[in-house]
Amino acid sequence: MTSLFAPGDTLASRIASQFPSALSDLQVSSLYYLGAILLVIGVGANLTAVWIANRFDYEKRAA
Amino acid sequence: MSKRVELEPLDEFVVDEAHEFPFDPASPLVASGNLRRRHLISRVARGGATAAAYLAVLMLGFLLWAVISRGIGAISWDFVTKGPNEGGIGPALVGTAITVLLATAMAMPVGVLTAIYTAEYAGPRVGRLVRLVLDVMNGLPTILIGIFIYAAFVAGHHQNGFAAAMALAIIELPMIARTTQELLTLVPRALRDGAEALGVGRWRVILGVVMPTVAGGVLTASVLAAARVAGETAPQILVNLVSPPEYVLNPFADHAMPTIPVTIFQLSESADPTGFQRAWGSALCLMTLILIANVVARTLHNRSQKKIESR
């Protein structure tokens, strides 16, 4: 349950495992919601990465 | 009467063993305690870096060994040509080839044109924005692309190979576009200047001078992108899962096209123990194809590098 060594789920693995066999509209919508959360995390992480890369850009810092 | 300047003895400048300023330039270069510590730190850091590099190679070795030792028993002519009912993965091999080729055929022109626009035509602000979008796209979890294709093209219709190809194309697009952009910035200024000095139009310079220089690199990037997406499983589970146990050659059919990653996923999920060996065998086939693609890409890359350098 709260152990790293117990079987667990990630956002991506839950979408992959439940989407093909989703039973109700509510379940499908919930999985889309998981996708939306994953999208926000993904875009946020990538924008942070670009921001960090820009801070260490020597050419821009020299200018 | 001339006044003699008294030089102070050098010994008085030496503050301590660690040679802080002001230090004596004439003092003998012997290892102080500080130097020994620095040597030790250097050795530890170097050892750590070397160990990490060997560990990375070792991981690939373990992975190759695990897949080969378990998969080699499944490989036979029947295995790579027959359908799943006879215990083979022929349809999946053909399906993977079709979806990946379709995806690359869709992603390559769009990616190359995107790169040409941002590198040659767009202003600095638009160019930066497009680069940012491509970088973000490159880092998105691929299952999101699967869910998007599912919502846009599969829900209410059918799963098919073309939906999978579209998902793979979206994954390939930023890889090809970003690499081509980087290549375009490396094209020597003199080449363009020469062509423009002859009064050649902008599009003609790009088509006749710039593109031939980067063609090898673009091909390399496309092969690498294709090899990357050949094993992409997550989006295919959503848009290309349930396929008949036979050869599917029509990507627009009203059912899915069998592919290697999906086959591995299904075989390893099933309770049938003979399925595991077929899953390992499929993994070995996929790995071999990807290794071949990487070797081909490397050869192409080396040839195009020589071409740019010789100019």
Residues belonging to chain B with any Cβ–Cβ distance to chain A shorter than 8 Å: 132, 135-136, 138-141, 143-144, 147, 150-151, 234, 237-238, 241-242
| Residue whose C-alpha is closest to residue B152's, from B170, B125, B173 | B170
The answer to whether B143 contacts A16, with C-beta atoms less than 8 Å apart, is: yes
Q: Which of B136, B138, B147 lies closest to A35 in CB terms?
A: B147
What's the rounded Cα separation, in Å, for the pair B258 and B82? Answer: 13
Can you give the pLDDT at residue B106? 92
Q: How far is residue B292's CA from residue B274's CA, in Å, rounded to a whole number?
A: 28
Whether A11 and A34 have beta carbons less than 8 Å apart is answered as: yes
A15 to chain B nearest CA, in Å? 8
- B53, two tokens: 């590099």
* Residue from B265, B228, B268 nearest B243 by CA: B265
DSSP B164-212: HHHHHHHHHHHHHHHHHHHHHHHS-HHHHHHHHHTT--HHHHIIIIIHH
Are the beta carbons of B143 and A47 separated by less than 8 Å? Answer: no
Q: How far is B236 from chain A (nearest CA, A)?
A: 9
Q: What's the predicted TM-score (pTM) here?
A: 0.79
pLDDT of residue A62: 56
Residue B136 and residue A32: Cβ atoms within 8 Å?
Answer: no
Dihedral angle, C-alpha B50, B52, B53, B57, nearest 10 °: 140
Nearest CB to B141 within list A31, A38, A50 = A38
Asked if A16 lies within 8 A of B237 by C-beta distance, the reply is yes
pLDDT tens digits for chain B (311 residues)? 455 555 555 555 444 555 555 666 666 666 666 778 888 999 999 999 999 999 999 999 999 999 888 888 778 787 777 777 777 788 888 888 889 999 999 999 999 999 999 988 888 888 888 888 998 888 888 888 888 888 888 777 778 888 888 999 999 999 999 999 988 888 888 888 888 889 888 888 888 888 888 888 888 888 888 888 988 888 888 888 777 777 777 777 777 788 888 888 888 887 777 778 888 888 888 888 888 888 988 888 787 777 666 65
CA atoms of B232 and B226, how far apart (whole Å): 10
Token output for B154: 């599969």
For residues B98 and B106, is the Cβ–Cβ distance under 8 A? no
Sign of CA dihedral A28, A30, A33, A38: negative
CB B190 within 8 A of CB B169: no
- Number of A to B CB contacts under 8 A, please give it: 49
Q: What is the pLDDT of residue B311?
A: 55
- State residue B30 phi and psi, 5-degree precision: -110, 155
Residue in B closest to A43 by C-alpha: B136
Q: Which residues of B touch A43 (CB under 8 A)?
A: 136, 140
Chain B residue with minimal CA distance to A35? B144
Question: Measured between beta carbons, which residues in chain A are less than 8 angstroms from residue B144?
Answer: 35, 38-39, 42
Q: What is the pLDDT of residues A11-39, one digit of tens each?
A: 888 888 888 777 888 888 888 899 899 99
Query: How far, in Å, CA of B1 to CA of B4, rounded?
Result: 9
Q: What number of other Cβ atoms are within 10 A of residue B13's Cβ? A: 14
Task: Report pLDDT for B17.
Answer: 54
Position B121, amino acid: Y
Q: Is the peptide bond before B273 cis (omega within 30 degrees of 0)?
A: no
ipTM: 0.81
How far apart are the C-alpha atoms of B17 and B10, rounded to whole Å? 15
Quick one: pLDDT at residue B310?
62
Q: Do B238 and A16 touch (CB under 8 A)?
A: yes
